Chains A and B, each alone.
Chain A
Amino acid sequence: MTQDKLLTLAAPLMLGVAVLGLWEVLCRWQEVPIFVLPKPSDIFLALLDNFGSLMVSLWATLRVTLMAFVTALILGGALAALFSQSRLLELMLYPYAVVLQVTPVVAIAPLILIWVGFDRVELALLILATIVAFFPILSSATLGFRSIDPNQRDLFRLYQASRWQVFRYLQFPNALPYLLNGMKVSAGLALIGAVVAEFVAGSGAATGLAWRIVEAGNRLQIPKMFAALLLLSLLGIFLFFLLTWLEHLALRKWHESARNQPN
């Protein structure tokens, strides 16, 4: 590992440890009540005490997030592919995709819950998170499919490439960097969507981390709230790194963004 890489890792870690230490010391010294601001050690203990139930909730949230992300990827990617083949279809549907995107998910959530039924909350969560995660995929893939160099298009025309060949050998690989970037945004949004939807659903049938936060808040178990929050952040960070790694794998060989050193 180079010195630079080591620093990239060590610098934020050092700050984090320092802040946690300061937090712990200040809370002890000022005797801050645990229901106002728990010490990091309290949060850690709460995490250990409730490890089983929190892990179940983490898995529930992760499951909804991943399913929503994959659904959004398939739907958004397929729709963008259709748009790349038919300008008319794009003109017809794109504005409605934008409407779906700009309507706050919190506002649609009650409606979706009623439609899907309170006995199938997880499906409702999935739909809501998908709605949130869908747009970045659609817009990035649409842009990628469309951003074709005119000379490359001419080249394919010269060799009488079929529509499918243009898509398979030109448009799809060209869209890949755009799509992967959209996926990074989308994965984060899927998590946000899953959490927000669960807050709105607000019923005992939901078992995700968001519900744990609501529940712990109602019982004034502040350290447990922090513990659930910590797990949510870790989940978001995990998703981000997972997709960054995927992007690196897919693009490292040829894309300019994956160059190690500028030259």
Chain B
Amino acid sequence: MTALLTIHNLSKTFENGTAALEAVELSVAAGQVTTLLGASGCGKSTLLKIVAGLLPMSAGHIDWAETPARGDIGFVFQEPTLLPWATVQDNISLPFTLSGNMAADAAMRVREVIDLVGLSGFERAYPRELSGGMKMRVSLARALVSKPKVLLMDEPFAALDEITRAKLNTDLLQICAQENVTVLFVTHSVQESVFLSDTIFVMKPRPGRVFAHFALSHESQRDEAYRLSPEFGDKVREASLSLKASMEAAP
């Protein structure tokens, strides 16, 4: 499996002296879902922002298989981060608006992703009229509209209820397969990481480091029934133990 990006020896110390990340090594395989699993404060979000180029790193480097251009990185924030004054359609078009792409194929692509995330019929709605789950779908569609090579997701479903979250997890897998996009996903939920991932990196806090990583091969179709299967249970147990060990390990 070829790596889309590899992170070498990456460290981040904030101006106030807080060491957020220390000597992080990890790679994200092309076409896969990779999650960073860890407790709050282990620098997962910081790492994601560094990968997106939104924060500078203090040391280390990131090797990209292909240097990302504008629109090659999609980012889904913890909050939907929609423009409240713009309709669903205009929010999703934002990446095209900013790149000056007003062509007909851009408009077609916007319609395509609206269908993809299941928001047909809500094109003209304003964010305040949408539920939390639907807002997150808009946010996902916006991140996908520019056909990114990698989708960075920062605990996107953490604020949603369990049922909505499970539904979005299932849909996300389908969407990623359809769009053939690589995903780097940050979460503190073991279930979510196991359900979504091909590879999990368990991180330990203060300063954030990679504690363990393991690959998962899902033998059955990942749907709602899969969540209740012994196979899923075993994998969750394994990841939980690793997460527990990461918290107890000596700093």
User: Which residues in A have some Cβ–Cβ distance to B below 8 Å?
Assistant: 149, 151-152, 154-161, 165, 169-170, 173, 176, 253-256, 259
* Other-chain contact of A254, B52, B71, B126 (Cβ < 8 Å): B126
Residues on B with C-beta less than 8 A from A176 are 85
A-B contact count (CB 8 A): 57
Interface size on B, residues (CB 8 A): 25
Cβ-neighbour of B128 out of A149, A159, A256 (below 8 A): A256
Chain B at the A interface: mostly helix, strand, loop or mixed? loop
A contact residues around B128 at 8 Å (CB): 254, 256, 259
Chain B residues within 8 Å of A151, by CB = 77-79, 81
Could you list 13 A-B pairs, sorted by A, with CB under 8 Å? A152-B81, A158-B73, A158-B75, A159-B70, A159-B71, A159-B94, A160-B98, A161-B98, A176-B85, A253-B126, A254-B127, A254-B128, A256-B128
How far apart sit A254 and B124, CA to CA, in the bound complex (Å)?
11
DSSP class of A's interface residues: helix, strand, loop or mixed? Answer: helix
Contact across chains for B98 and A159 when beta carbons are under 8 A apart? yes
Rounded to whole angstroms, the CA-CA distance of A255 and B128 in the bound complex is 8
Q: Write the B59-91 contact mask toward A (1 if CB under 8 angstroms, else 0).
A: 000000000001101010111010111100000
Counting CB contacts under 8 A, is B54 at the interface? yes
Measured CA separation A165–B95 after assembly (Å): 11
Interface residues of B (CB under 8 A from A): 49, 52-54, 70-71, 73, 75, 77-79, 81, 83-86, 94-95, 97-99, 126-128, 146
Cβ distance A260 to chain B, nearest Cβ, rounded Å: 12
Q: Which residues of A contact B126 (CB under 8 A)?
A: 253-254
- In whole angstroms, what is the CA distance A159 to B78 when docked? 18
A155 in contact with B81 given A160-B98, A169-B98, A254-B126 (CB within 8 Å): yes
CB-based contact A149/B54 at 8 Å: no
Decide if B98 touches A149 in the complex (CB within 8 Å).
no
A173, B81: Cβ atoms closer than 8 Å: no
Chain B residue at smallest Cβ distance from A161: B98
Which chain B residues lie closer than 8 Å to A173 at the CB level? 83, 85-86
Q: Knowing A154-B54, A253-B126, A259-B128, say if A159 contacts B99 (CB, 8 Å).
A: yes
